[in-house]
Structure 1
């Protein structure tokens, strides 16, 4: 498995960068979404590639690595944001800016971690199950179906936990629909690239895993 460590590193990087970028809401045409949405769909594409080539077991391990990387980054940002800055005006100004950007509220932290956990494991589970059912055919359909479920859970859970009662329901619905449509669109547009990467890895690694007897318990790491 020559490329598994590289994919794991890229997956964790996408996850961490998109989590920091999500602190800003952006508007592009009819879409309103957090900045992390620009990059975060790649995490689900990586998830599709990992499950399709290496199987649910290896994908589960990578998901947990990403989870603990995200948890470590979040806890570090929280700790630094709450530590006192030097008394000079410049340091105080930078400290306030850091706190506003990365000193996330507990609801946002909880929403981000819970949404990631549920969404990624749902994505891997659906893709692995459908691969067995279709005997490895229709990867495009399996990738879209797993993303439909995973991204729906991810986006919905995050918004409900982090922002329900903070923003009007109409705003939350608009953000959900914008995020969901954008993420599914990215998945569809990236399918040719995903196909190419999956094909390359299957040939290079000599692997094409089928999870016929897999224990899908997300907490079983052995």
Structure 2
């Protein structure tokens, strides 16, 4: 009888996984997200060399692109975790440095000496000449802002699990964008042609509100993209 009772006792339940769930980097999605982030940051660096003014609003030519780099950073952090987000940040950092060096070589190469060649050389120097300082501003700002953004995303996920994704997206974006905007504007403003405290404050405030506003407005889209990738990542939750 005791043997029967022993054999019929229920098997212990399998241990449940604790902590946040992330995907391993084994499919094509991480590479696509990383490539898109790098291209957006490099194009933003070029655009940022141009000062842009809409009436009293002061910004730069990369204003419409850069928020999407943070959106992609949110997607990577949520799905792949802080380690892979940090790898994406450093890879984008390195590619931006390479692009800046390439601009420097292109400008330094001897060009045609006719009027058209001289005009093109001058245009390149004006358009791409300030980029190294813009890149320095962007890289330092991106490195600090995205790292903070990713850390907040991952730490909130450790508490919330799969719930309240919108809280993670909005909370991390606000802090990350503020740090990014303040660092970038401080370094890049003189190159762009922004002078005086009033113009600088305008540049910082408008940049922060715009970038954060775009990210908040696109939270529903970001949520859909994250859900779509999660469902197609074979190792997510495995």
TM class by shorter-chain length? Answer: 0.7 to 0.9
CA contact (8 A) 1:2 1:205 kept: no
Corresponding residue SS for 2:62: helix
Query: What is the CA deviation profile of residues 52-98 of structure 1, one whole-angstrom value per residue up to 9, with x for unaligned ones?
Result: 01111111111111111111001111222233322211111100001
Q: Distance in 1 between matches of 2:190 and 2:165?
A: 36
Equivalent in the alignment of 2:223: 195
TM-score (norm. length: structure 1): 0.87
Q: Distance in 2 between matches of 1:5 and 1:55?
A: 15
Q: Distance in 2 between matches of 1:168 and 1:105?
A: 22
Corresponding residue SS for 1:87: coil
Query: What is the CA deviation profile of residues 34-59 of structure 1, one whole-angstrom value per residue up to 9, with x for unaligned ones?
Result: 11110110000000000001111111
What RMSD in Å do the two structures reach over aligned CA positions?
Answer: 1.9
CA contact (8 A) 2:41 2:69 kept: yes
Work out which of the residue numbers 33, 36, 52 in structure 1 matches 2:59: 33
Deviation at 1:136, TM superposition (A): 3.3
Equivalent in the alignment of 1:77: 103
Consecutive unaligned residues of structure 1, counting only runs of 5 or more, are 210-222
Deviation at 1:207, TM superposition (A): 4.8
Deviation at 1:30, TM superposition (A): 5.2
Corresponding residue SS for 1:32: strand
Confirm whether residue 186 of structure 1 aligns to residue 210 of structure 2: no
CA contact (8 A) 1:48 1:127 kept: yes
Give the number of aligned pairs: 209
CA contact (8 A) 2:43 2:62 kept: yes
Q: Which has the greater radius of gyration?
A: 2
Work out which of the residue numbers 127, 137, 142 in structure 2 matches 1:111: 137
TM-score (norm. length: structure 2): 0.81
Consecutive unaligned residues of structure 2, counting only runs of 5 or more, are 1-26
Equivalent in the alignment of 1:172: 200
Equivalent in the alignment of 1:213: none
Equivalent in the alignment of 1:135: 161
CA 1:105–1:18 in structure 2 vs 1: closer, same or farther (change >3 Å)? Answer: closer
CA contact (8 A) 2:149 2:172 kept: yes
Deviation at 1:27, TM superposition (A): 2.6
Equivalent in the alignment of 2:70: 44
CA contact (8 A) 2:45 2:134 kept: no
Confirm whether residue 19 of structure 1 aligns to residue 53 of structure 2: no
Q: Distance in 1 between matches of 2:65 and 2:179?
A: 17
CA contact (8 A) 2:142 2:180 kept: yes
